[in-house]
Structure formats: structure tokens, C-alpha cells
Structure 1
Amino acid sequence: MVARTKPSPADTRTEIAIVGGGLAGGLIALALRRLRPEIPVMLIEQGEVLGGNHRWSWFASDLAAPESAALMAGFRTAEWQGYEVRFPAYARQLGSQYRSLASSDFDASLRRELSQATIHTGRGVTALDAQGVTLDGGERISARMVIDCRGAVTSEHFRGGWQVFMGRHIRTRQPHGVARPTIMDAAVRQHGAFRFVYTLPLGANDLFIEDTYYADDPVLDRGALSTRIDAYTQEQGWGAAGSDDFEIVGHEAGVLPVITGGSFADYQADQRVDGVVMAGARGGFVHPLTSYTLPFAVETALAIAADADLPGAQMAALIEQRARRHWSRTRYYRMLGSMLFGAAEPDLRYRIFEHFYRLDEDLVERFYAARSTLPDKARILIGKPPVPVSKAIQALITPGRPLAAPQETRT
């Protein structure tokens, strides 16, 4: 029998309080709604919409378990059979099924499925603990279990580089004629980083174009990236900026850590709030090289729903242990990240992925899902190395650069 904390008369009471209505928090609320609908849940989000301003993409094979695919089945997604990659040395088409979800559709789906009593947007949180959450204005929500899904934080305990990106959704006046996504167009000027452009045809006249950099420094220069997207759009024949060839209907930008090493135990100790479950990117459930989060958010949501009767402190310990296993399991990808940032000249980093994308398609899928087999790992590393061996060895024995706070500039 689980002991209940008696609320004060001013308290709002729920069983499970989820702080942060992004991908991780929203999927936990959804999994609880579908698998344990009798449990009262509150999903608390500081912004006005769930999911913020993001787009999440994944391969269908990332969600190999039927229950994982089922959790995502209710969302309105864009889907394609096959995609392209481009490098200076070659271009290739692959047949994997690829999917993408916009945060606006994430918000709409959750609002359809979750009750009004569950979703609380526009509510900032000033404090949380194992017994509940304190909102801006002093309102207290007491809960048996508190789950912190407020997003990634920069930590001095991690080493690595950065993924800097800007995405733009355009609507062309004439059909653009693009049939499938280009996941990685690295046949572009590199600008002192591993740069590639990512393009999704969202409809006959809709394109999402994202300019991405694996950079040493966490600097988001909106002016420079916007100008480069303008140039790429014109080079591809989709229209000129400032003309009536297209209109801009959406955009996003950000800076994400690419973690190559550090102390996860020290990070957990810094972030831990005793008895509070830490999930999502804040909990460490990220692909360290690609920054993908969706497959891990789905798995964590289902794991929490499966043991939803546990006391909060036990769930916190369970998910923390799960995060440590994830950190251990993804060590190989941090090693590759070390070689990407430490062994390759910035303008030549694309050669690592140029080598990688020559490999078997199933291997590529397992890599993105962080399920590479031992033969996969060996196959990625054998053959003519895309970086000098001496520099690769040096990169692996060098701690790497501490992750500093992201910066933003305009030019």
C-alpha cells in the first residue's frame, strides 16, 4: 500500500505531475492515458503550446517494438519511402521509411486525446520536489510522483562539440517537384564545420529546409544561416528570397550538445532532486552523436506507464538506472564523436559520414537507432580511414573540450 501525502487546503492534488510538455513529457502523459487511464495526471508546460517549436524525425525502424510504433500511431506525420544523401564524392538513394512530426501536430494530437484536466500550458514552475510542484504565483500541486522533463541543460561534466541548426518551412508558388527527403546534403561549402542541408518535402508546395553544423563552438548566427538557406533555396531552383516564388510559413533554430565524453555520474548528481524522476534529454536519453531523442522518449514513456504504481522515489531510482545503462550502451557513438571533432579538420569532417553512408542500409538504420551490433561497429571503423590514424588515436585519449553555454549572434 503506497502512503499518500495529505494536501493542504490550498493544494491541487494529482497522482503524477509531469513538468515540461515537450516530446518526453507529452509522450509520458500519452502513455499513461492509454495504458493507465484511471491514474490522474497533470502535464505542466511553461509555454502556450506543447512541444514548443520543433520538428522530430525518425526512421520507422527506430520504433521496432509494436508497442513503440503504437504509441506514435495517433500523430499526424509526414512519411516517405526512401531518402537521399549527397557528398562531394557521390550521391545515394536509400529505401528506408522515414517519418517526421511537427510540434503543432504533436500539440493538436495530445489535446485531442488528453483531458482538459491533464494539460496545463502557460504555467511556469518555480520549484519541484518529491511531493509536488510549486507554480509561478505560489500555487502548489501535490503529487505521488513528480517527473522532470524540462529539457537538456549544459553541464561542465560533459565534453564534446555542438550541433547548430536553423530550419525554415517554405511554401512555393509552383510545385517544387521534390519526391523524397534529403537527409544529408554535405556537397555544400562547409564553412569551418561539418555542414549539411536537410530537406523534407512536406507537400506538393511545402518544403522544410534545415542548415546544420557540427561545430566546435555553440554559436548560432541567425543572419549567416538565414543567408545560406536563401542561397541554397535559389541554387535548388525553388525560388529567390524576397520574390513571390515562395513564402516563409515557419522556422526553428537551436544549439544542441554533441557529447563525446565526461562523467555521467557527476552530471546525475548535479541534476538530481531526491525522489523526482528525471526523464527526456535532461535525464540523458539522447543519441550522443545525432542528438535524436524520439526513440528513447517513446521507450521511457512506456517504461514509466508499465510501472506507474511505484512510489515516486522508486521510479526515480529506476529511471536513473535506466539512464546509466543508456549512457554505457551508447559509448561507441561518443567515441565516434571524439574522432569527428578531434581527429578531422573542420572542413573535412564530412568525410566520416561520406565513408559511413557507403555501408549497408540496415547498418545505417541500426546506427540511428543506437542499436549497432558488434559487426556493425567493426565495419564502420575498418577500411580506408576517413581521418588519419594518429589523429584518431590522439582524439580518443584527449578529454575533449568542455561544453560551454550556447551563444546567439545576428549578422
Structure 2
Amino acid sequence: MTERMFDIAIVGGGLAGGLTALAVHRAHPQLRLALFEAGEVFGGNHRWSWFASDLDDAGTDLLASFRKTEWPGGYDVAFPAHSRTLGSAYRSLASPDFDAALRRELPQEAIRTRSRVVALAANGITLDNGEHISARTVVDCRDFQPSPHLRGGWQVFMGRNLRADTPHGLARPIVMDARVAQHDAYRFVYTLPLGAEELFVEDTYYADSPVLDRNALSGRIDRYCAAMGWHGDILGGETGVLPVITGGDFAAYRRDLREPGVVQIGARGGFTHPLTSYTLPCAVANALVLAREAMLPGEQLAALFEKRAHAHWRTMRFFRRLGRMLFDAARPDERYRIFERFYRLREPLIERFYAGAPTYGDKLRILSGKPPVPVTDAVRALLGKGSPLVHEKPQ
């Protein structure tokens, strides 16, 4: 058995872990750090997208070195009774570019792919090959863990990269196209024009169950692309099941997963937008905070992020309530009406909503007027507990 020593060991090479490693290395290049990822590459097989308004200048700077696609001309949304173009700049980062930038910027000794961690403690980690690695600080950035302590529904999706036979003619992203059959969920298709002939098309569902029927979703993407006149070769794709958290006992959730003295951030730590399932703004903010405080002892960092997690949970209360109305007050095939109404609101409000920072006035405006769900059903949903997030991810 061998043993090595690092200042900071980061477990999980996804978005939160990779950005944290990059931020720490930039702020403290003298520290010995390592980023441990069980897979072959950092970031897995994913695409992360965000509005430019989601990040401040420091966050934008952290992502500056990543190759990404940007649309300064805004984006479109489309619903059965309402379509609109919004002016917010939109950006997207694919996991191969995420992996390439980390390998380019991090020290060689920090890159530890194909390294599955089986145990974490405040003073180090153990790999599945028996190797023990000591560290002054251990940071847990692994994926979300389903839990009976949390309530909500699921965001189920399948994405496809397509190279069309002819130019597709799409000038900007379609962030939501809900003019499609709903299939017992809030369903919309999300499309990014990545080049003159290249597209990323994703079929997304706000569903009560985490079941992902690959054949059904693939066929629906086929039909959507055919209806849009897009024909060509499939270059790749991705699937996913994300939690949409509407309530629960967050303290119990954290207690179940917490290792004493281990810093816990990322989706597993509860750092996500509970309604949209976006993690990038949280991942950026936490990476910058950890980099700023990286010289603190590990136990103090763990306590700091414990407080941040509970503060984030309190801040996101409004979104969890909206999620309960979405899942428990609206009929599945009528859930789109909630978003259709939302996208009639003023654009600055919409930007603050996605950034997770609505004002008090924004909240009143979202809830005012004729509700898109029956009032009695909305009240019942708000008073109810919702369904536990205990389903296993599909294989």
C-alpha cells in the first residue's frame, strides 16, 4: 500500500469539482491539489448552458478559458398560445471542452482520472485499489444522492448532436419549445445551433417518475427533427435524470451524507436551483469561495460550507413552492401553462429568476393575477409534502 499527501483532495471531476480545482489552482498555485474522477475524463458526457446574467464578473472570468458556444443575440421560447424572443445572451459548454481546459491548466499531478474513491475522511481518501491519499482538506463534489428526506419530481432528458445535411437556418437557441405532445409531463424540446449545420436537440420532461425510456425519447426526437426539416447524421448524445426538489428535511439529508470534517459542495451538498436543476451558477460561486478561503483548516472549511448549504436551502424556498404547484397542483399535460404564463413577464424578472435571485417584487408578480392552476389545488399542493426523491437512476 502506498500513500501520498496533498493540500486539497477534490473527489468528483464534474462541474463543481473541476471548477473548484481550477479556481484553487489559480488563486494558490503553490498548493498541491488533486482532482479525482472515477471515469476516463472530467465532466462525463454532459452539456451545461447558462444565461450571461447568471454570473458576475468573477464567475465569467473563471469560465473564460473554456471553449464554449455563445449566442449574444438572445434566445426563443415557444408555447401553444405564446412565442417570444428574449435578449439575454446565452452560453453553452460541452464536456470535451471542459476536460480539455482542465488538463491544459491544472498541474499534471492534479489530474487523477480513472480513480474511484471508496472512502472519504477529513484527513484523506481511499481508492478502490487500496491506495490511501492523505490530504489537509478533502472536498466532496460527487453527484446528487436520492434521499427519502427530500421531496419532489424529476427532470428527465435525452439530448442528441446532429449534423444536418443542409444549413438548418436557426439563428439562436430555442430554450423551450412546448408546442409538442406533453406525454403525461411538462415536455419541451431544447435546441442549440452549434454551427451552420450542427445542432444539439434535447427532449426534456418534468415528470413524476425518473423512468427514462430511451427508445420512446429517441423516436420523439426523430419526429421533432423531421417536422423542423432537419435531417442528417447523429454525432452523439446524452441522457440524464435530475431531481426537481420541492421540499423535505434538508438537515436530515445533510446528516445522512456528511462525513465529519469533509467539505461538501456540488449537487450532493444541495447546491442546485431546485426548480430548473441548474447547477452552474452554484458551482461557480462555491468554487470562488473555496479558492478564497483555501488556506483555512479542512474542518473550518467544512463548517463554512455547511452554513452555505443551509443558507442556500432557505434562499431557494420560493422555488420549492413553485415546484410543488407544478407537480402537485397542475395536471401533467397542463403543466406547460405555468411556464407559458411565466414567459409573458418582464425580461429582467426572468433573468433574476434563472439566476436564483428574484426580488420580493418579482415573487409577488409571479404569483399575482389569474393563476395557471386551480386555487384550491395550489393551496393543497403548498400544504402537502410531495413525493419522496428515492427512485434509483435508470441504468
RMSD: 0.9
- The TM-score, its normalising length taken from structure 2, stands at 0.99
Name the residue aligned to 2:59. 68
Decide whether the 8 Å contact of 1:255 with 1:406 is kept in 2.
no
Aligned equivalents of 1:371, 1:132: Cα separation in 2 = 36
Aligned equivalents of 1:38, 1:87: Cα separation in 2 = 52
Asked if residue 117 in structure 1 is aligned to residue 103 in structure 2, the reply is no
Given residue 84 of structure 2, which amino acid in structure 1 is its aligned partner?
Answer: R
Decide whether the 8 Å contact of 1:222 with 1:408 is kept in 2.
no
- 1:149-186 deviation line (CA, Å, top 9, x unaligned): 11111011001111000000011121111110000001
Residues 407, 221 of structure 1: CA spacing in aligned structure 2 closer, same or farther, 3 A cutoff? farther
Aligned equivalents of 1:99, 1:203: Cα separation in 2 = 14
Matches within 5 A, 1:277-296: 277-296=263-282
Which SS does the other structure have where 2:176 is aligned?
A: strand
- 1:116-146 deviation line (CA, Å, top 9, x unaligned): 1111101111111011011121111100000
Aligned equivalents of 1:187, 1:408: Cα separation in 2 = 27
Q: Could you tell me which of 1, 5, 26 is aligned with 1:13?
A: 5
Name the residue aligned to 1:79. 70
Q: Could you tell me which of 172, 181, 193 is aligned with 1:189?
A: 181
- 1:265-317 deviation line (CA, Å, top 9, x unaligned): 00010011000001100111000000000000000000001011111111001
- State the 1:51 CA deviation: 0.3
Aligned equivalents of 1:377, 1:55: Cα separation in 2 = 30
- State the 1:404 CA deviation: 2.4
Aligned equivalents of 2:390, 2:119: Cα separation in 1 = 25
Name the residue aligned to 2:355. 369
- State the 1:407 CA deviation: 4.9
Name the residue aligned to 2:211. 219
Aligned equivalents of 2:192, 2:351: Cα separation in 1 = 18
Which SS does the other structure have where 1:156 is aligned?
A: strand
Uncovered stretches (5+) of structure 2, i.e. residues with no partner: none
Decide whether the 8 Å contact of 1:49 with 1:107 is kept in 2.
yes
Uncovered stretches (5+) of structure 1, i.e. residues with no partner: 1-8, 240-245
Given residue 53 of structure 2, which amino acid in structure 1 is its aligned partner?
Answer: S
- State the 1:20 CA deviation: 0.5
Which SS does the other structure have where 2:199 is aligned?
A: strand
Residues 162, 123 of structure 1: CA spacing in aligned structure 2 closer, same or farther, 3 A cutoff? same
Asked if residue 258 in structure 1 is aligned to residue 241 in structure 2, the reply is no
Aligned length in residues: 394
- 1:205-252 deviation line (CA, Å, top 9, x unaligned): 11000000000111000010000000000000002xxxxxx1111100
Matches within 5 A, 1:138-149: 138-149=130-141
Which SS does the other structure have where 1:408 is aligned?
A: coil
Which SS does the other structure have where 1:117 is aligned?
A: helix
Q: Could you tell me which of 329, 339, 348 is aligned with 1:353?
A: 339
Percent identical residues: 62
Q: Which runs of 4+ in 1 moved over 6 A?
A: none
- The TM-score, its normalising length taken from structure 1, stands at 0.95
Name the residue aligned to 2:298. 312
Matches within 5 A, 1:1-150: 10-64=2-56, 66-80=57-71, 81-150=73-142
Aligned equivalents of 1:141, 1:248: Cα separation in 2 = 42
Asked if residue 392 in structure 1 is aligned to residue 378 in structure 2, the reply is yes
Asked if residue 178 in structure 1 is aligned to residue 170 in structure 2, the reply is yes
Asked if residue 267 in structure 1 is aligned to residue 258 in structure 2, the reply is no
Decide whether the 8 Å contact of 1:14 with 1:144 is kept in 2.
yes
Aligned equivalents of 2:100, 2:212: Cα separation in 1 = 29
